[in-house]
Amino acid sequence: MEFQNNFTAKKSLGQNFLHAPQVVSAMVHASRISTDSIVLEAGPGKGILTKGLLETGAKVIAVEKDDRAIPFLAEKFKVEIENGKLKIIHGDILEFNPAEYGLENGKYVIAANIPYYISGEFLRKFLESESQPARMVVMLQKELAKRVVDEKGSILSMAIKAYGEPKYVTSVPRKFFRPIPNVDSAVLLIDNISKKFFENMDENSFFEVLKAGFAHKRKVLIKNLEDVVDPTKLKVIWEREKWLTTIRAEELKLEDWKKISTKDIP
């Protein structure tokens, strides 16, 4: 197709097109979708993942920001669009409202090969949504994916674990993309997404505490938290948990953050 030859990756959109069928297979397998599934795909690009998703029989809603990709995808998947299996939306996934397209809480799956510069914002948007997906399968920078699944670690890792169970699916060498990026990638599954973690705890308060804890890396954790948590409560928790006063944010596990964030001293 002549149009395809002119459809090259646009640097301003952070595009790197995947060309590895084995990686698509891994993403589709991790998504656990079937003929009755609804999948929201972010950034279909040239449609390599879209094709794999459609082959399961699932219904796919694909959101693509690049206006050059829309006619290409419309031609490539003409049959699937006509039979109602694929809906292509020209828009920004960060502005997409799942509820407007009938995507109910826990009733759909996300599959995404997104530009890495929006990874954090993209994950937060859908994990915090009132219409959460049941699970997400996303392509991330390899080092970021490894940090997310670490038992302890970054603010993003803790935030993701509060909503679901992150699992490292597979590494994806940079050679599997065109153009070749400067970093290796990985497929990450976030499974069993819900807001159960926030039962008996205010969601906003938890993130206020989490952000404060990671705010100043040169300060020890207890000092970072004194502006948002009662110092008396902090003292009680530190003594009970036998934490050193020099402990830092990246040393805590998710349940530790919950102890600090609950309204009363647990």
Q: Is the predicted pLDDT of residue 122 greater than 80, yes or no?
A: yes
Query: What percent of the chain shows pLDDT beyond 70?
Result: 93
Question: Would you call 117 helix, strand, or coil by DSSP?
Answer: helix
What CATH class has 2-195? Answer: alpha beta
pLDDT in tens, 25-36: 999 999 999 999
Residue range(s) occupied by CATH 1.10.8.100 in the chain: 203-261
What pLDDT band is residue 44 in, cutting at 50, 70 and 90?
Answer: very high
pLDDT of residue 10: 55
Answer whether 98's CB lies under 8 Å from 79's CB: no
Average pLDDT, the chain: 91
Q: How far apart are CA 141 and CA 183, in angstroms?
A: 7
pTM of the complete model: 0.90
Q: Evaluate whether 44 touches 116 at the Cβ level (below 8 Å).
A: no
Q: What is the pLDDT of residues 154-208, one digit of tens each?
A: 899 999 999 999 999 999 999 998 888 889 999 999 999 999 999 888 999 999 9
In DSSP terms, 112 is beta-bridged to 42, 138
**Quick one: pLDDT at residue 2?**
38
* 9 has a pLDDT exceeding 60: no
pLDDT digits (tens, 9 = 90+) for 225-254: 999 999 999 999 999 999 999 999 999 999
Residues of the chain with CATH 3.40.50.150: 2-195
Q: Calculate the CA 123 to chain-centre distance.
A: 3
Q: Do 80 and 55 contact (CB within 8 A), yes or no?
A: no
| Comparison of pLDDT for 216 and 3, the residue scoring more | 216
Question: What CATH fold (topology level) applies to the domain 203-261?
Answer: Helicase, Ruva Protein; domain 3 (1.10.8)
pLDDT of residue 264: 65
The mean per-residue pLDDT over the stretch 75-97 comes to: 97
**What integer pLDDT is reported at residue 200 of this predicted model?**
83
